[in-house]
């Protein structure tokens, strides 16, 4: 059900590198699970609205008032990959 190619595509979309054997293993797992999940097709959902939120909450806001931000120490302390206050990542091509 889930071909190797699809498996590779999903892994890439998930930004996870998988070696061939792990990819094969996971693809098989996924196939089994998707097979099981097929039973959902039997349900008649033609007139049914999806449930995105179980609570009937609406219009939750905050006021446009400044709250304290993180301190420099808190931010710099998050990573060793920083430079002059910036986070550093490998060069991005545009």
Q: Which residues make up the interface to other proteins (CB under 8 A)?
A: 2, 7, 10-18, 22, 26, 29-30, 32-34, 36-37, 39-41, 43, 45, 48-55, 57-72, 74-75, 77-79, 81, 83-94
Q: How far is the CB of 75 from other proteins (least distance, A)?
A: 5
Q: How far is the CB of 4 from other proteins (least distance, A)?
A: 13
Instruction: Give the C-alpha separation, 76 to 87, whole Å.
Output: 9
Q: How far is the CB of 33 from other proteins (least distance, A)?
A: 6
* Terminal-residue alpha carbon distance, the chain: 36
CA quadruple 60, 65, 70, 72: dihedral positive or negative? positive
Taking a C-beta distance cutoff of 8 angstroms, is the pair 24, 43 a contact? no
């Amino acid at each position: 059900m889930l071909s190797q190619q699809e498996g590779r595509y999903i892994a890439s979309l998930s930004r996870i590198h998988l070696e061939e054997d792990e990819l094969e293993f996971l693809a098989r797992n996924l196939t089994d699970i998707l097979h099981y999940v097929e039973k959902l097709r039997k349900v008649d959902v033609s007139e049914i609205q999806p449930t995105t939120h179980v609570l009937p909450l609406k219009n939750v806001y905050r006021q446009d008032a400044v709250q304290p931000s993180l301190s420099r120490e808190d931010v710099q302390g998050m990573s060793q990959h920083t430079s002059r206050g910036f986070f550093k990542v490998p060069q991005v091509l545009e």
